[in-house]
């Protein structure tokens, strides 16, 4: 199932240029940037999306993701008190910190606010040790998740993003990470990433994401800065779209200032919302078709998608979308639920813009001996 989801995501991402090529790309003053429509998983525009960059504190998105996994699996609890190690406390004192102290245990919940809102490098190390015992073991978990997500040009060397030759990523990979965090851990995303300020140890620090104050539709995600990386920002906004909502994720890397990363990110988000429409073709588990099944315990099977299927197109072209279903006929039982049984081609103006796997939405068992024999004769005569 995970492999099939990865196939769907990779397929849509790879064909996004066919949708967007008729809309001129915006001019964004950054070394590398990318705009992703998270509803359809389509890249709407990009510049140098595969350039290897230093992710700086954007690394903390993966740190948070691994911690959220531990919370989801009940290996950690938000109210659990963590003893702060000397190693966590002594993290580069010139870098961003939440100012935890070895003599004062701190809750996982507060450490997450410190990690996400205050961008505390000390919080990153403390959480890493809480989850995995040591920072090195935690980093191996980070890299395992990156590999599982298909972040093929990423390697993490630490949980905080302080400079290291073996800590690198790309705009494309970071867009995948941001999208997976929102999809896989929506409750934690909603809790932490839109928080504008947090106080710990009597020290109030603001979220460095300026867009949280400038645009009410922005609800995340993370800033980053080092001398080598420049000023970076992954931002995301959710705005109304038809009878639902549509989310865009912008990745802007290597700008010249705090103000510039906010301004360029805002420009990119606005460009995406103004120039494209997202169209929901099918809802999750909606039957696209109910084809016949041979040699099965039932005569038909519902086929479709295990997630809402959205397509993003240039404004004014939604009526030109034509979905074409191609099945793997004849469908012979047994058929496993979520197994691929066909392909949906999405055509716009006669051009194929995407091909997506269609799956069985239900299990179909094998018929008895008589039923199989009878259908074998029917198939031979068909």
> Active-site residue numbers?
57, 60, 119
- Which residues lie across from 1 on neighbouring strands? none
Distance, in Å, from the CA atom of 72 to the CA atom of 77, rounded to the nearest integer, reads: 9
Give how far the C-alpha of residue 336 lies from the chain's centroid of Cα atoms, to the nearest Å. Answer: 27
Return d(Cα 88, Cα 100) in angstroms, integer.
Answer: 8
Residues 294 and 372: their CA atoms lie apart, in Å, by: 8
Count the alpha carbons within 13 Å of 24 in the hemisphere toward its beta carbon. Answer: 3
For 79, which DSSP code? T
Q: Measuring CA to CA, which residue among 117, 250, 265, 119 is closest to residue 196?
A: 117
List for the chain the helix, strand, coil content (%; round to 5).
35, 30, 35
Going by C-alpha positions, the residue among 183, 207, 175 that lies closest to residue 194 is 207
Residues 170, 50 contacting (CB under 8 angstroms) = yes
Exposed/middle/buried for 11, CB within 10 Å: 0-12, 13-18, 19+? middle
Written as six digits, the tokens of 176 are 């995948």
Longest dimension (CA), the chain: 81
Phi, psi at residue 122, to the nearest 5°? -65, -40
The pair of structure tokens assigned to 117 is 């809102």
Q: CA torsion sign, 27 to 29 to 30 to 35?
A: negative
């Amino acid at each position: 199932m995970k492999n099939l989801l990865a196939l769907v995501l990779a397929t849509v991402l790879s064909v996004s240029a066919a949708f967007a090529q008729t809309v001129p790309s915006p001019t964004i003053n950054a070394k590398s940037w990318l705009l992703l429509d998270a509803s359809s998983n389509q890249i709407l525009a990009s510049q140098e999306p595969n350039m290897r960059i230093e992710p700086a504190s954007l690394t903390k998105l993966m740190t948070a993701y691994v911690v959220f996994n531990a919370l989801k699996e009940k290996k950690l609890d938000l109210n659990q008190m963590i003893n702060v190690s000397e190693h966590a406390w002594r993290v580069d004192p010139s870098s961003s910190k939440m100012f935890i102290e070895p003599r004062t245990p701190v809750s996982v919940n507060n450490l997450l606010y410190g990690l996400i809102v205050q961008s505390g490098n000390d919080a990153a190390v403390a959480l890493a040790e809480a989850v995995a015992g040591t920072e090195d073991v935690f980093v191996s978990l980070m890299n395992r998740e990156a590999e599982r997500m298909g972040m093929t040009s990423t390697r993490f060397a630490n949980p905080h993003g302080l400079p290291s030759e073996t800590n690198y990523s790309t705009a494309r990979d970071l867009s995948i990470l941001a999208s997976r965090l929102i999809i896989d851990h929506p409750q934690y995303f909603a809790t932490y990433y839109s928080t504008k300020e947090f106080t710990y140890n009597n020290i109030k620090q603001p979220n460095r994401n300026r867009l949280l104050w400038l645009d009410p539709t922005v609800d995340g995600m993370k800033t980053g800065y080092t001398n080598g990386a420049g000023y970076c920002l992954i931002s995301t906004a959710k705005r109304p779209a038809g009878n639902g909502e549509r989310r865009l994720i912008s990745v802007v890397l290597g700008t010249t200032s705090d103000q510039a990363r906010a301004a360029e990110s805002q420009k990119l988000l606005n460009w995406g919302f103004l120039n494209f429409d997202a169209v929901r073709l099918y809802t999750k588990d909606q039957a696209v078709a109910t084809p016949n099944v041979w040699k099965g315990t039932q005569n038909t099977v519902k086929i479709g998608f295990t997630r809402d299927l959205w397509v993003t197109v240039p404004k004014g072209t939604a009526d030109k979308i034509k979905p074409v279903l191609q099945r793997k006929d004849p469908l012979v039982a047994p058929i496993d639920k979520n197994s691929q049984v066909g392909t949906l081609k999405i055509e716009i103006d006669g051009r194929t813009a995407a091909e997506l796997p269609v799956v069985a939405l239900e299990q179909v068992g094998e018929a008895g001996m008589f039923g199989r024999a009878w259908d074998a004769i029917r198939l031979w005569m068909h």
